[in-house]
Structure 1
């Protein structure tokens, strides 16, 4: 019986200790006392309800204490809502304190929206206070005289808090600055003009308002380096000349092929004409024989015709030998 009583007492003691820790977990009295002594108005039941809503009371109370000591007016409901929405409460509080000390107009609603958008709101405030320098990659452009210039610029930007949510980032700034450099160099008559006055590029680019619709405000664009590249104009002229040469060669080859085709056609026609002549000559003996049979041609007439033909051949032979002698 005594063993049962002892076990019962031990069970009660253990149960009381467990109940005490559970009570202290759901009712953080020490945290409530700390908030009261820090000048933060938060009820004990509020802390209990935070625990039930799975909101860490220590995080909310510490953030309230920090903001209150910094002179900010933030409610417990605002911090709870931002935490439940997936925000980072300490980062928002640090950003608000930093903005307040730097006289930057930043409300809790704006800071919470920036944080929920996935941007580092504290870093954004720091860039607003200390502008960032962005180095552009090498930008190649060609002046009107055909000379290529390779420029590199340093862009000093400051965060525009009002457009940080939904505004374009650094990549857009770099792309627009590169486009402006290409445009300004391309509009220059000579590359020497750009080399003599590189600040002209900065002025022209700044006048374009490249930071419109972005999360940054461009403070300055400084040309860090300009190098002379290749003579693009000369290369283009050489390529054009080579292309024209190839076109001319192709047209000449086309004309030659057409001439060869015409020559072959004329040879074929000559062969055809000779064949017709030979065919006609082959009909002569038949015509002579027919004339003999019909009595239209006598033997003496035939011999006289042969003598005339022989005389004609002799004259042709003499004429041809005279031409050969003159040529030699």
Structure 2
């Protein structure tokens, strides 16, 4: 009896383990939910997902959402995107949002955008609700030398067709900043810019700055503009100071040269004077030597009587 009881317990435990393993390998509940939602999926396909290390719920639940939204997707495409490292739920949500907003977005295009590292759902939402990005403070100088510091708000909408390979927000901000600098720099007076700031927006917007980017610029608005330094006057002051220093340096150079010439002339005078003194000192010696040799008499001196 004890042997039969032990065998029964072992069989019960083994049966429970097999049941747990079977429920893990064959997600019957998920299969029933899919069938009830009108998603044609077979149990062997779910088992195959387990064997391919794909969580069935990550494929079936988004597929149910897509089917309920009226989209025609298949589990093989979703599973392939999952295995490629994509976000299946985000792609499906983006497709549903695009369909509701009448935005043309194919499954192939959505998966390509997702695998490229961009948030395809955010892109669809940005196509529906444009985003406003603000430039940093951009400083530029008008032709009259006055500096202006401007801040612009750029309203952009995602361009679905250029999301793969298109430049990002940083490029938009850089181009807008460059356009602001160019427009202010070409203005004759800073007062003209202050009186008509929308001219900057129109000029910059007309340059087609969104070319090659993942966005479409809808508007550019100057949010703030301040008057900065009088750079022209500062440059003139610096130039005058530089000219002054150059003139002082040249004057000092000329003075030093004059002093050097004067010292050289003084040295030459002293040298000549020394030679004269030396020559005068040698005259008595020469006369004495002449007397000694008898080559020089009183007649030669003019004292003969």
TM bracket, shorter-chain basis: over 0.9
> 1:31 deviation in Å?
2.1
Deviation at 1:226, TM superposition (A): 1.0
User: How many Å separate the matches in 1 of 2:122 and 2:253?
Assistant: 71
* Structure 2 counterparts to residues 170-319 of structure 1, below 5 A: 170-286=169-285, 290=290, 293-294=294-295, 297-298=298-299, 301-302=302-303
Give the deviation of 1:14 after TM superposition. 1.8
What residue number does 2:57 align with?
Answer: 58
Task: Give the secondary structure class of the aligned counterpart of 2:175.
Answer: helix
Shift of 1:28: 2.2
1:201-232 CA distances to partner (integer Å, 9 max, x unpaired)?
11121122111111111111001111111100
1:48 corresponds to: 47
2:14 corresponds to: 15
Gaps of 5+ in 2: none
Contact conserved, 1:154 with 1:223, CA < 8 A, in 2? yes
Deviations 1:61-93 (Å, cap 9, x if unpaired)? 211111011111111101101111111111111
Any conservation in 2 of the 1:291–1:297 contact (CA below 8 Å)?
A: no
CA contact (8 A) 1:88 1:115 kept: yes
Segment drifting more, 81-90 vs 276-285: 276-285
Deviates more, 1:53-62 or 1:262-271: 53-62
Question: CA deviation digits over 1:108-131, x for unaligned, max 9?
Answer: 111112222222211111111000
Structure-2 residue corresponding to 1:117: 116
Mapping for residues 3-152 of structure 1, pairs under 5 Å: 3-152=2-151
SS in 2 for 1:209: coil
The alpha carbon displacement at 1:299 in A equals 9.2
Does the CA contact (< 8 Å) of 1:138 and 1:150 recur in 2? Answer: yes
d(CA) in 2 for partners of 1:299, 1:67? 143
Is the contact made by 1:27 and 1:48 (CA closer than 8 Å) also made in structure 2? yes
Q: Are residues 295 and 33 of structure 1, via their aligned partners in 2, closer, same or farther at CA, if it must alter by over 3 Å?
A: closer
**2:168 — aligned with what?**
169
Q: Distance in 2 between matches of 1:145 and 1:65?
A: 66
**TM-score of the superposition, structure 1-length normalised?**
0.87
**How many Å separate the matches in 1 of 2:188 and 2:302?**
97
TM-score of the superposed pair, with normalisation by structure 2: 0.93
Residues 140 and 148 of structure 2 are in contact (CA less than 8 Å); yes or no, is this contact kept in structure 1?
yes
Deviates more, 1:26-35 or 1:142-151: 26-35
Tell me, in whole angstroms, the C-alpha distance in 2 between the residues paired with 1:230 and 1:120. 43
Aligned to 1:217, what secondary structure does the other structure show? strand
Bigger Rg over Cα: 1
Kept in 1, the 8 Å contact 2:287–2:296? The answer is no
SS of the aligned residue for 1:126 comes to helix
Extract unaligned runs of 5+ from structure 1.
Answer: 304-328
Q: What is the RMSD of the two structures over their aligned residues, measured on CA atoms?
A: 1.9
C-alpha spacing 1:300/1:235, structure 2 compared with 1 (3 Å): closer
Cα 1:5–1:184 shift into 2, 3 Å: same
- CA drift of 1:44 comes to 1.7
Distance 1:127 1:86 in 2: 24
Does 280-289 or 57-66 show the bigger shift? 280-289
**Offset of 1:136 from its aligned partner?**
0.8
